[in-house]
Amino acid sequence: MDLFLSFVLQSVGYFITSYFLFSILGRKRKIGYIFLAIVFLSNLYPYIQIGFNLEFQMLILGLVYDVGPVFFAFLIFSSITGGIPMIKIKRNRKLKSVSTKIQPKTYRLRNAYLVIGLSLVAGSTAYFIFEDVTRYVVIGFSVLGLLFGLFLLFDSLKILSERVIMFVGREKEKIYTYDIPKEAKTIEISDFFKNENYIVDPIGEVTLINVSNKQEKDYLYWIATSDKFVVEPPLYGVQHIPYQDDLNQFEKYHLKHVWYQELKTGKIEKIKEKMIK
């Protein structure tokens, strides 16, 4: 029983850490994979050194106990971040190594509650069951996970509204928007645009911070074509967006996240930007 609990708790700890790195370092799955690979190799190395001196059954048991949690954490991390989905009906277009699936507020809140819950369960279980160094390792991961979960929770609660902004035209002449439902868990391109004759490129994300420190999020897409075609609901046309003068900074085959602060005068000011890909 202790071995099983240790396996589960270590898996949870590795997953929480990899997801934390994924979230704060540009939502790049590669960062999480690098962390898991380092842990995998560090756990495997002792068996490479002494493996031939162990009985086969002991070798297999040791590998399952020490290396298995890393592999299990890899599967959970890949599934949640879209790398290896458990159920996948069709493949959506995406930039290499960066998930282009929108993860709206409901999805982030769910993940925050999941991380907080797992951290509390893992830490409490480790405190009452384990007595060796495993207790402190698991509790350490649990504390980090709890802090990350709380950060993710409070950050998500700041979001007031979310929408898709889709540009059409060589110079982004036409602007369409789709208001993301508050109960939506994930959004893919096919949820708001179903014409398969055109490629819809994700080009960035904009966070508008109002004077009350609440946020509005725009997820930007672009169909760079001179063709004329009808854009159907749920997308609808708009004439202007607050950062329209800065649209040239968003380019094809790149993803950029830009933050704007609303001033008391009603204007906005760019305060930060990050190149995601």
* Contact predicate 239/186, CB 8 Å: no
Look at residue 18 in the predicted model and tell me its pLDDT. 82
182, exposed or middle or buried, with CB in 10 Å at 0-12, 13-18, 19+?
Answer: exposed
Look at residue 51 in the predicted model and tell me its pLDDT. 58
Look at residue 213 in the predicted model and tell me its pLDDT. 92
- Residue 202: what residue type? P
For 83-137, how does the pLDDT look when each residue is reduced to its tens digit (9 = 90+)?
654 444 344 444 444 556 788 999 889 888 988 888 888 788 777 777 767 677 7
According to DSSP, the residues that pair with 185 across neighbouring strands are none
For residue 192, pLDDT beyond 80: yes
Look at residue 66 in the predicted model and tell me its pLDDT. 77
Looking at per-residue confidence, does 261 or 54 come out higher?
261
d(CA 265, CA 244): 18
- Position 177 confidence tier, pLDDT thresholds 50, 70, 90: very high
Look at residue 90 in the predicted model and tell me its pLDDT. 42
30 SS3 class: helix
Mean pLDDT of the chain: 83
Phi then psi dihedrals of residue 52, to 5 deg: -70, -15
Residue with tokens 């409901």: 106
Most confident stretch, 10-24, 39-53, 88-102, 262-276 = 262-276
What the block records as the tokens of 19 is 């997801």
Most confident stretch, 26-30, 208-212, 251-255 = 208-212
Element (H, E) at 161: strand 159-168
8, exposed or middle or buried, with CB in 10 Å at 0-12, 13-18, 19+?
Answer: middle
For residue 1, pLDDT beyond 60: no
Look at residue 97 in the predicted model and tell me its pLDDT. 47
User: Within 13 Å and on the Cβ side, how many CA atoms surround 123?
Assistant: 16
* Contact predicate 276/27, CB 8 Å: yes
For residue 157, pLDDT beyond 90: yes
Helix residue ranges, H only, 82-228: 105-129, 133-157
Give the pLDDT mean for 10-18.
Answer: 80
d(CA 93, CA 2): 44
Give the pLDDT mean for 56-77.
Answer: 77
Degrees to nearest 5, angle at CA 254 with 250 and 255: 75
Residue with tokens 């819809």: 200
- Position 149 confidence tier, pLDDT thresholds 50, 70, 90: confident
Q: Which domains does the chain have, with CATH numbers?
A: 2-157 (no CATH), 160-275 (3.90.79)
The overall pTM is greater than 0.75: no
For 228-271, how does the pLDDT look when each residue is reduced to its tens digit (9 = 90+)?
888 999 999 999 999 999 999 998 888 899 999 999 888 999 99
Looking at per-residue confidence, does 128 or 193 come out higher?
193
Look at residue 5 in the predicted model and tell me its pLDDT. 67
Instruction: Decide the pairing of beta strands 159-168 and 215-223.
Output: parallel
**CA nearest 209: which of 240, 243, 172, 184?**
243
